[in-house]
Amino acid sequence: MDITRLPFNEFIGIERALPADQLLTLPEGPQYLNHLGTVHASAQLALAEATSGEFLIQALGDAGDVLPVVRRLECKFRKPAHGALASTAGVEEGALEALRMDMAAKGRALIAVQVEVNDAMGAHVLSATVEWFITRMPDL
């Protein structure tokens, strides 16, 4: 799955990041601005959610037999965001192995992905934790 090709992500313009240490970007544009002239909170949240999904795809592969859905998203806006945004993500040590074990044993699991977003000036503008519920696709 290409996370940037999901209809909503494509609509708002989420792109793959070029530097290897970043996952996704949201380009600069007036359509992303709020009433203060900074990047709207919803645009930042959309990037954080997509980044968490991209992290899982890269970490686990594109398993077609699972159904992942966001269960919870918590974030803290740290500073006003200006210009293009770039994101990174990760999980606590052992979380991916615990996910694999739960999927094997129960066919479902939870995993929390931590996301960080920086703006064009290098400011750390958002920290988020996106909790995913992942289950095996039901047999039809």
Residue 18's pLDDT band, with cuts at 50, 70 and 90, is confident
State the fold for domain 3-136: Thiol Ester Dehydrase; Chain A (3.10.129)
Q: Where are the domains of the chain?
A: 3-136
In terms of DSSP bridges, do strands 24-26 and 15-16 run parallel, antiparallel, or are they unpaired?
A: antiparallel
Q: Mean per-residue pLDDT for 24-48?
A: 98
Per-chain mean pLDDT for the chain: 94
pTM to 2 decimal places = 0.93
Percentage of residues in the chain with pLDDT exceeding 90? 86
Describe the strand order of the beta sheet including 66-77 as a list of residue ranges. 15-16, 24-26, 85-90, 108-119, 124-136, 66-77
Beta strands in 27-123, from DSSP E residues, in sequence order: 66-77, 85-90, 108-119
- Which position has the higher pLDDT, 62 or 25? 25
